[in-house]
Structure 1
Amino acid sequence: MSQAIVKLKSKIEKSAEKDCIMEFINESAVERCSFEFEDTFEASHSYIMKVKNWSMEIQKCEFYSSATAEDMKLNSSIVSVESGELKISETTFRDIHSARSILLFHEEQNVIIDEAIISNIECEGDIVSVERKAKVDMKEMGVENVTLLLEKCVIGMEDDEKEVRSLNCSFGKSTNSVEKGSMMQIRQSKEVKVETCVCDGEKDEEIINEEVE
């Protein structure tokens, strides 16, 4: 998929076989595409885009909401990987109110976020969630103007068995409606590396470590 404008503006029914709207199998690429979520978009799928296996690259894309209704809420994670490799570069996620994590990595996968900007987000889950057997390498990722609506965080790592690395990432000002949560929560992960990252929050950032090497 290359140089497309995808407008999501209607109710999409979930089938018994698929829990995602777009599924990518084998070697795939999405380049220079815009995905716009409009007021009338409604879906009960767990994911918008799901990488089934093999490898996929998302490059120079943007995901954003043009909804004007205050109660318009995205009920699906935008990107998830079941297995294989995913590389995200020069991609923006912005102006979205989400009930789930924007990026969800939780199976046998190798994820590289080369360059991404996450801005103007309201989220009821961890904005980036890393679980179980995912190996994630985040480079040059910028997070700014996010609102955490529950006791969640920007990056959450839970029961992860592989390495998670955050390098040259920037965490801008954020707010938390329940006065709890943190920029990063590390919950029983095996190996986590945070290098040359910058935090500029309105409150002191908190890192929770349990059984971290």
Structure 2
Amino acid sequence: MNLNQKASNVLSESFSNLQKRQGNFTTEEIEAEVINQACKYIIENHREDLKSVHDINQINSVIMKNMTFQPYALSFINAASKLFPHQYGEAERKAAFNSIYSNISWAEMWDYLRDYFLKKHGTAIDNVTSEPCIFYSQRHERFEQGFKVSESDVERNVNVNFFNDRSEVIISIEPTLSAKKAHLVSSQNGVLNYTGADPDYLFELHLDTYDEIEHFILELPNRHLKIHYD
């Protein structure tokens, strides 16, 4: 089976599964599925040949080296155009090319995909056990240089996915923070402190007596910024 046929089969099966699970899907969901399926295929089959970095600000330093995977990206993009001729046009194709190359150049992409496929498809892409949870924040306070500068009664979903007995975590905040991987540096009295793989991010999770998150702090030390979520 050639690459084009493989990509077509992967997307046909994945969208069939999505339709069974959620019914119809938006153009944005189609775009995300194509990008993530392409990235999953490339990483699964060529992990050792990929060049990647943890810091998203450094992706441009390796992205050109991953252009050799253009045939793989193109096969998924072409398959999407055939499946959705009226929704997946030139703008979506161009965006997919850029996203696929950027994402496979990010060292944390597999962790992101693990979370994505579990949520969207209900499937595990590897043997790593995860413990997903969502902290529903109703308000947050912003601190700069140690002083509170603002507070907002705005709902935010803090998505937390623990791995390896909580020694690792992936955290995202809808809609303000993309997925960040972090490693546990301390755990004491129900407070878990994590340092991001991208060291510009620190996370502090406060657990209640039921081991559920009751308070969350995002810190960007290089900007002297803390945001407290309740």
TM-score above 0.5, yes or no: no
What TM-score range do you get, normalising by the shorter chain?
Answer: under 0.3
Q: TM-score, normalised on structure 2?
A: 0.25
- TM-score, scaled relative to structure 1: 0.26
**Bigger proportion of residues as helix:** 2
More strand by share: 1
User: Which structure's CA Rg is the greater one?
Assistant: 2
